[in-house]
Amino acid sequence: MNFKYPKEEKLKSKITIGLLFTEGKSVSKYPLRLVYCPQKKEENQRIKMGVSVSKKYFKKAVDRNYFKRVLRETYRLNKHLLIPHLDEPFAFMFFYQTKERLSFDEINTKTIQLFEKFVSQLAQKKEAQAKDTDSSSTELS
């Protein structure tokens, strides 16, 4: 299993980040939120991930940076839950949305639950698309 978080996996493109906020869908498991959007097929990386912690909740940059490090680490350790279920490249933005200072273990548990919720939502979407194609093919017959 590859537990790396290489530079190619980091979300840096302002265009992609803007696209996430305008067209992205969201999954949340308090206090975490994952905004995602499919990317173009020509992207060579399956996942682009960015993290964010609100200045509203943590005024000091030291505190924001700490929670960003924790989010990146929990993503790095649990991305194996996402990768097998992705058929196309995705861009993700991972948010920490509370004033509470949760421990690493609590955040890690919530991350696992969030990723499982995302995977189940993706599976439901695939099932719905499969039913739509089945019904449209029977209408053509």
Give pTM, 2 decimals.
0.87
Give, as one character, the DSSP assignment of residue 87: S
Total domains, the chain: 1
| pLDDT band, very low/low/confident/very high, at 139 (cuts 50, 70, 90) | low
Q: What pLDDT, on the 0 to 100 scale, is given for residue 31?
A: 94
Angle between helices 104-140 and 61-78 (to 10 degrees): 50
Largest Cα span, the chain = 63
| Residue 24 is assigned to a structural domain of this protein | yes
Q: Summarize pLDDT for 53-103 with one digit per residue, the tens.
A: 999 999 999 999 999 999 999 999 999 999 888 888 999 999 999 999 999
| pLDDT band, very low/low/confident/very high, at 50 (cuts 50, 70, 90) | very high
| Residue 39 is assigned to a structural domain of this protein | yes
| Residue 131 is assigned to a structural domain of this protein | no
Q: Which domain covers residue 98, as residue numbers?
A: 14-118
The CATH number of the domain where 70 resides is what?
A: 3.30.230.10
